[in-house]
Amino acid sequence: MKLKEVVLLAERLKGISSINEKVSLLSSFLKRVDKEEGKVVVALLIGENPYGKVGLGYQSLKNLLVLKESNESVEVSEIDKILKELKKIKGSDSLYRKLNILYYLFRKLDDKEREYLVNFLIGEIKIGANKGIIKKAIAKTFQISEDILDEIILKKGDFLQVIEGIFKEGKNYIEKTDFEIFQPFSPMLANIIYSLDELPKEKLACEYKIDGIRIFLHKKDKEVKIFSRHLKDITNNLFEIAEYFSEINGDFVLDGEVVLLDKENKILPFQDMMKIISRKERERFENIRPFFFDILYKNGEKLFGIPNKERWQILSKTIPNNLLIERIETDDKDKIKRFYEESIKRGNEGIMIKKLDSPYFIGSRKKYWLKLKNFYPLDLVILEAEWGHGRRKGWLSNFLLGCLNRERNGFLPLGKTFKGLSDKEFTEITKILLTKKIEDKEWGIIVRPEIVVEVFFSEIEKSPFYESGYALRFARINRIRYDKNPYEIATIDEIIRIFEEERKKKGEIDIFY
């Protein structure tokens, strides 16, 4: 199958409003796809690279859009091969080598194919058919129940892996798929709330939300494997934990987070932890501490469907108490408020709130789990704005945010965000920013620092990429502050104060070795 056929299908889907018509069109199309090309065709449609990010942004790829147009096109199997090659390229000259490979590919494409492939590579595909519609089309094509297909995707945790299996084996793949120990799956996720007023009125479980790395620990006999939330085997990165759990009785699968401690047993910032744990070779680091909050399998029994309260009781009898996350069960909002404040005081991100009757939904974000994080509000200015791509095309949507310098006569950058605004607000702020333009750039515009926005963020971390020396983590714009001028915003001294206060507050805990 040619890439051109995928692009033409995407164009047709954009012009159809009926979900049933989209599903029928997709199903007819998928019936023509070769079983060896099924995964890459679906990947191109949903904008999800099956081999991970290629490390190239729009600025690196834009010159490929102006090559002389060709009508040669390419097979999707060639696209698949190139995506594999790009993932393998490492080193100081990796950018040049990746672009060189893509140059020979893009010279075979027409303008529409090039634009589509660039949007795919930067994760900005929008074809008018989301993953849910694609699933309906797959179910119709292979005559599989949508509920069963959803269940298999959740168990496997990898949408494209399931698609590949179905294309190659049909219903036989569905029949032989089940939970297996040492087979990673995607975590259950939580919805964010911003106030205790959003809590359901019932007895709830509340747990500390620590700033760690999400892990799944699988153990059978003496063998232990640890997987990340992205399904990557990270056992060798956390060999201390694997060795410790190999001596604990029973077979089980645990869900939790791991943190790294400094010499004073205080939790290190997330970025420091990643630097140490991601090293290919490192010395034994005794101050690694996991905390677990769920158990999904024990001694041959799957526990996904039983209530959260019962799973917690099983977990409490499986591992030592000092490896359990701090937890309370209550329907008293005042107690939850105090628990939240204590968690923040100890340097954590906030709290998780879970319904006691909650099953475990693999890979899903359900209202059974909520998270209340310690989001700071700061007023900052917009210094630059980039033109959006894909869904945000036509809007200025990626904003460089800044604070005042010490002299209060200039501004220092603190990082970028495109999150928080509605489509209507993107349209509005684009019009405003264009009136403040100082200079056009290929990627967007530099503006007069006059637009003040209220920004929520969870943490400040050191950064070598910005002149301020700091960057906001999980930043999102809450609103445009029409009532404020740029000399009323936060200063760099406030940024440093917040950073230092948070660093001091990181909680002290005992190591388990």
Sign, CA dihedral 411-412-418-421, equals: negative
HSE, side-chain direction, 13 A CA sphere, residue 470: 23
Residue 285 token pair: 């680091």
What's the distance, CA 377 to chain centroid? 22
* DSSP per position, 163-228: HHHHHHHTHHHHHT----TT---PPPEEEEESSGGGS-SS-EEEEEE-SSEEEEEEEETTEEEEEE
Residue 360 token pair: 């475990």
By residue count, the chain amounts to 513
Residue given tokens 């509605």 in the structure block: 422
Sign, CA dihedral 380-385-386-387, equals: positive
Residue 402: partners with Cβ closer than 8 Å, 6 or more residues away: 380, 381, 382, 383, 411, 412, 413, 414, 449, 468
- Give dist(CA 251, CA 318) in Å, integer: 9
CA–CA distances in Å: residue 359 to residues 188, 295, 319:
10, 11, 21
Closest by alpha carbon to 444, among 403, 380, 388?
388
- Give dist(CA 45, CA 22) in Å, integer: 13
Residue 476 token pair: 């999102």
**Active-site annotation holder among 4, 22, 39, 209:** 209
- Give dist(CA 138, CA 393) in Å, integer: 29
**DSSP bridge pairs for 355:** 204
Q: Tell me, what DSSP letter sits at residue 393? A: B
| Ordered alpha helix ranges (H), 298-378 | 308-316, 333-345
Residue 78 token pair: 């060639």
Amino acid at 385: A
Residue 337 token pair: 């408020």
What's the distance, CA 151 to chain centroid? 21
Element (H, E) at 63: none
Q: Is 209 a catalytic residue?
A: yes
Cite the active site residues.
209
